[in-house]
Amino acid sequence: MTDTGATMPAEGPSFVHTLRIRLGECDIQGVVFNAHYLTYIDDAIDVWFSTAFEGADYQKEFDVMLKKIELEWFAPARHGDILELALWISRWGNSSFDMAVDATVNGERIITAKAIYVSVTPGEHVPCPVPGFVREALSKPLPNPTTVVSS
């Protein structure tokens, strides 16, 4: 069994993103098709970054590329469920970082994931150190973790 989850910090996740499962995201078994979890995580990260950097055009100074992601499934999510994705940074490296995700429905764990991202020079895709402003913005929980409901 893969250890995808990291222990959530005592102060809670850095960001929480909420979405409603749509019918088209479910397979013939009536549960979320597994590949959609990767899309949910990507969407949550995009909203987190936009929120953490307060709408600033951070992409001129910082970009990332996914190196690896591991996902572990625990229970199904179904059409109409409200999926809550809690995210936080579980490890900082020089030019990379690990992001942990814990996704739940009504408090029941659905999936956990660990993603390894590499900081790259925008437009060049060459690895570079993670900028200090990124470490600062993503290392702490937002004052009020943001919840965004997508439909």
Over residues 36-72, the pLDDT tens digits come to 999 999 999 988 998 888 866 788 889 999 999 999 9
- Summarize pLDDT for 69-117 with one digit per residue, the tens: 999 999 999 999 999 999 999 999 999 999 999 999 999 999 999 999 9
Q: Does residue 148 contact residue 83 with C-beta atoms inside 8 Å?
A: no
**Count of CB atoms situated within 10 Å of the CB of 18:** 15
Please give the angle made by the CA atoms of 73, 37 and 82, to the nearest 5 degrees: 90
* Low-confidence winner among 12-21, 82-91, 117-126 (lowest mean pLDDT): 12-21
The CATH homologous superfamily for domain 15-150 is: Hotdog Thioesterase (3.10.129.10)
| Domain residue extents for the chain | 15-150
At 1 the pLDDT is 39
With b for 16 or more beta-carbon neighbours within 10 A and e for fewer, the 82-98 pattern comes to ebbbbbbbbeeeeebbb
Q: Does residue 139 contact residue 131 with C-beta atoms inside 8 Å?
A: no
